[in-house]
Amino acid sequence: MLDDFFTRAIVAGVGLALVTGPLGCFIVWRRMAYFGDTMAHSALLGVALSFLLEINLTLGVFLVAALVSIALLLLQRRNNLSTDALLGILSHSTLAIGLVMVAFMTWVRVDLIGFLFGDILAVSVGDIALIYGGGVVILTLLVWMWRPLLAGTVNPDVAEAEGLRPEASRVLFMLLLASVIAIAMKIVGVLLITSLLIIPAATARRLSATPEQMAVIASLLGALAVAGGLFGSLQYDTPSGPSIVVAALALFLISIVVPIWRKGRPRQTVR
């Protein structure tokens, strides 16, 4: 079944969408889109350090993304700058440092386009195993921390009063997000992973009534965007990663247009 590269791409993309859907919901609820973008940009620094220290690429990206998360938390407590300013500094600094490090490592040939935009058509069976194995762990931890994380999203003070430890759940959520970015980097690239996290969740928000329903719908919409983007890429010979994001955007636009169209239709009465 997994002998064909296109089949492997769909299986890998759907597996990733199932994980990014619920995580993306919390990014939308907490208005952390810029934070996700910052962590994605830091992935390139993780790539550079992985080549420099000769360690596993996924591990290097995860470690850097996790360190950026911890640095943000520490700076928020000790710095007078606003959160968006700190995110801007961390985002562009890590991306720039990563690019400069890659430029200095003349002995290493790095496909920057591949890391920036990904290549889902090149995934292997081992990559699929990593996506689904890591995805099971991430989703299990997310289910375990769902209640305190959701309570901390609604009202951190009330969650703290109830003993739910919203700060600890926030740190764990950031680590889960770092894990997803490390896994997804090869598939959709560091510049497109944020879109896959945010767009399906934003679309699902318009179609759901409960947080749990939104998480499920976001996963399904992400999977649909993966399938639509890959088939569109095959049909029109377009880049696979950006095509997936375009398909996700199309679903979002449909979710906006359809309710407006329904409201604008004249009501039909039964005669």
Taking a C-beta distance cutoff of 8 angstroms, is the pair 73, 83 a contact?
A: no
- Give me the sign of the Cα torsion angle 89, 152, 200, 118: positive
Q: Look up the domain containing 169 and give its range.
A: 5-190
- What residues contact residue 18 under an 8 Å CB cut-off, 6+ apart? 135, 139, 219, 222, 223
pTM of the predicted protein model: 0.87
| Number of separate domains in the chain | 1
Residue 208 lies in a domain: no
Is 209 part of a structural domain of the chain?
A: no
Residue 225 within any structural domain of the chain: no
Write out pLDDT tens, residues 138-192: 999 999 999 889 888 888 777 787 777 778 888 889 899 999 988 888 777 877 7
Query: pLDDT band at residue 271, thresholds of 50, 70 and 90?
Result: very low
Report helix, strand or coil for 147: helix
Which CATH number characterizes residue 158's domain?
Answer: 1.10.3470.10
Instruction: Please say if the pLDDT value at position 268 is more than 70.
Output: no
**Distance separating the N- and C-terminal Cα atoms of the chain:** 55
In a domain, 11, yes or no: yes
**Tell me, what's the pLDDT at 119?**
84
Answer whether residue 199 is part of any domain: no
Tokens 């910052």 sit at which residue?
38
13-34 per-position pLDDT tens digit: 999 999 999 999 999 998 888 8
Residues 229-246 pLDDT 10s = 999 998 998 988 889 999
Kindly indicate the confidence band of residue 269, based on its pLDDT and cuts at 50, 70 and 90: very low
Query: Alpha-carbon distance 208 to 191, whole Å?
Result: 28
Whether 237 maps to a domain, the answer reads no
Q: Is residue 239 part of a domain?
A: no
pLDDT bin (cut points 50, 70, 90) of residue 8 is very high
Write the CB contacts of 35 (distance below 8 Å, at least 6 apart in sequence): 27, 72, 87
| Rg of the chain on CA atoms, in Å | 20
In a domain, 43, yes or no: yes
